[in-house]
Amino acid sequence: MDRIEGLFDKAKIIGDRVLQQIREGKNILIVGHLDADGITSTSIMAKAILRKGGRFIAKITNSLRLKTLQDLKECDYDFYIFCELGAGIAMQMREMLGDRWINIDHHQIGEDEKKLDNVINSWQFDIDGSKEVSAAGMSYIIASKMDEKNIDLSWLAVVGALGDRQDQGEGRSMLGLNKIVVKDAIESGYLKVTRDLMLYGRETKPLHEAIASTIVPFISGLTGNRDACLAALTSAGIKLKEGARWRTIAELSEEEKKNVVETIIPYIASKPTATDEVKELIGDVYILEMEDEYTPLRDCREFATLLNACGRMRRGGVGISICLRDRDLALKEGEKVLAEYRSTLSRYVQTIMSDDSRLVEGRWSFMIIGDGLVDENLLGSLSSILSDIKKFEGKAFFVRTTTEDGEISFSARLTQGCNPNLNLGVIMEEAKKFDGVGGGHDVAAGSRVPSQRLNEFLEAIEDRLRQVNEDKGQNID
């Protein structure tokens, strides 16, 4: 059977199970991960259930551990839907919740979990969940099987995939199942895809601030330096204001955009990767046509950043409300949360980059110690930002911090030039040997261990990295 056809068939079965719960008047709890993909995945299921008259509560959380499962069980809901959470503990879900649950995910799982009827995961059908489909995409496929009218939720799945950095095709395009989701979103009239400048804040930020905010590619001398960006653009003769108002990238003519690229090129021309980085300046831009221009919801990548901010700043409910089209109070609150999120991450980066005591460099890795500084909910965002900095290229990259309950939480990323055979999801699963939890994708993963098992876990990480790097490229799975 074709792998996509197989996934669609199972999505129909899962969708029918959800419809049955709705018909029987069951109380449903949807639990989603706090990142943009988790929030959009949760929102898609919430909307699909709402349209059928179902009753549900939606909850956003950082991680799903055994204690969390026990707490959820005691809440005594009739049925549980887990979105982008629970990979690796599905057997425990079955023990605690019986048959009253489904798990929608795209992270790597073991063979035992692949066999469970309650689990729908891209890897069950040999579909790479790190780049071919996100959790939001999986939820969308289920929703579309519940009712074909739910094709109008496809735009949310695009936001989720971009938030999960699945734009890994040429020119930051989508791959695999994500291409089908993008096609549905375009055909439903919600999405437009154009080839344009890939600077952050194209709809909302003044041009010089957009360049200063751009991390991929990291533009030495301009990234993080608004004054230098302003001076460079002014020298190039680019019109930066319309009256008293700063212009955005979205307002520029094609000739002006070309001039912007020519202004940036000298800052990266001396780098060995200059040709690739110049290419990264132009790529696929995903625009939501139903959203107002010059708002953080118009560009899908900015939308994803807003949702990520809501989740990681412990305001996941605000993110869900925005996904469900609240453009009044929730959006205003979300914009405030986003400003606080950016300020907090900027403070983290500045502190870490100026404090050498927080960096531990090993033979195969870089480790940032975030204890006493970094909130555990912001680990993933911080590791994504820092891992793109040239200083950390060529080695596996980890950020860790102490959690509120005294455990140690890790976020891991592959960097540019890293051994391509490294699978961070597998490495982070080592935490299970030390009374912890862990897993994820090959390029991005996370874990959590008790503090008293930290040194053992660190030794296990180093041993895994050594095996892969010394065994002539053999992938250790």
Identify the pLDDT of residue 199.
87
pLDDT at 411 > cutoff 90: yes
How far is 74 from 64, CA to CA, in rounded Å?
Answer: 15
Identify the pLDDT of residue 474.
45
pLDDT at 272 > cutoff 80: no
Range 11-39 average pLDDT? 97
Identify the pLDDT of residue 220.
78
pLDDT at 1 > cutoff 60: no
In tens, the pLDDT along 216-244 reads 777 878 887 899 999 999 999 999 999 99
Identify the pLDDT of residue 255.
93
**Residue-wise DSSP of 369-421:** E-TTT--GGGHHHHHHHHHTSGGGTTSEEEEEEE-TTS-EEEEEE--TT--TT
pLDDT at 473 > cutoff 70: no
For 110, residues 6+ apart whose C-beta sits below 8 A from its C-beta are: 88
Both tokens of residue 246?
């700063």
Identify the pLDDT of residue 279.
78
Q: Which of 24-28, 270-274, 359-363, 417-421 has the lowest mean pLDDT?
A: 270-274
Residue type, 13: I
Range 350-376 average pLDDT? 94
pLDDT at 472 > cutoff 60: no
Range 3-23 average pLDDT? 97
How far is 285 from 192, CA to CA, in rounded Å?
Answer: 8
Alpha-carbon dihedral angle through residues 181, 186, 192, 193, given to the nearest 10 degrees? 50
Question: Which CATH number is associated with domain 3-151?
Answer: 3.90.1640.30
Range 181-187 average pLDDT? 98
Range 430-452 average pLDDT? 91
pLDDT band per the 50, 70, 90 thresholds, residue 274: low
- Domain boundaries of the chain, sorted by first residue: 3-151, 200-278, 356-470
Range 68-72 average pLDDT? 84
Range 402-407 average pLDDT? 92
Identify the pLDDT of residue 313.
96
Buried b (16+ CB within 10 A) or exposed e, 60-91: bbbbbbeebbeebeeeebebbbbbbbbbbbbe
Both tokens of residue 183?
């096609």
Q: Which of 319, 407, 299 is nearest to 34 (CA)?
A: 319
pLDDT at 24 > cutoff 80: yes
Question: Which CATH number is associated with domain 356-470?
Answer: 3.10.310.40
pLDDT band per the 50, 70, 90 thresholds, residue 281: confident
pLDDT at 208 > cutoff 90: yes
Tell me the percentage of the chain whose pLDDT exceeds 90.
Answer: 74
Which has more confidence, 460 or 2?
460
pLDDT at 435 > cutoff 50: yes
How far is 427 from 271, CA to CA, in rounded Å?
Answer: 32
For 15, residues 6+ apart whose C-beta sits below 8 A from its C-beta are: 142, 143, 145, 146
pLDDT band per the 50, 70, 90 thresholds, residue 419: confident
Range 394-423 average pLDDT? 92
pLDDT band per the 50, 70, 90 thresholds, residue 54: very high
Identify the pLDDT of residue 202.
86
Average pLDDT, the chain: 92
pLDDT at 475 > cutoff 50: no
Both tokens of residue 334?
């979300």
Q: Which of 39-43, 88-92, 135-139, 427-431 has the lowest mean pLDDT?
A: 88-92
Residue type, 247: R
In tens, the pLDDT along 445-464 reads 999 999 999 999 999 999 99
